[in-house]
Amino acid sequence: MADCKQTLQELDAFLDDEISVTTREQIHDHLESCVDCLQTFEFHAELKQAIRRKASNDEMPPGLLGKIEMCFNEDFDGDGIIGPVD
C-alpha cells in the first residue's frame, strides 16, 4: 500500500500515466483515504491543466523543435529530418 511519501513522490508520474498498474492502484487507494494527499493531487492536476491550456496557445519559437529533435535524436515532426530545417 502506498503511503504519503510514496504518493507524493509518484504524483507527476501518476498524473502522466507513467507508472505501473500496481503502483497506480496503490496510489489511487491511498488518495481515497488521505485528504491531505488528495488535496495535493487535485492542486497538481489543476496546475498541469492550466499550464497545458496556456502553453497550447503559444507558438514554438523557430528552430526549437529542431534543437529538441537533436537532443533526443528523434524526428518528432515527421519531416524525415532530425534537427532544424534550413
Of all residues in the chain, what percent are helix, strand and coil, respectively (each to 5)? 65, 0, 35
Q: Which residues contact 40 (CB under 8 A, 6 or more apart)?
A: 8, 11
Q: Which three cell numbers stand for residue 39?
A: 488535496
Of the pLDDT bands very low, low, confident and very high (cuts 50, 70, 90), residue 33 is very high
pLDDT at 1 exceeding the cut of 80: no
Residue 34: closest CA among 11, 55, 63: 11
Q: What is the 3-state secondary structure (H, E, C) of 28-42?
A: HHHHHHCHHHHHHHH
The pLDDT value given to residue 71: 92
**Helix or strand holding residue 53 (H, E):** helix 35-56
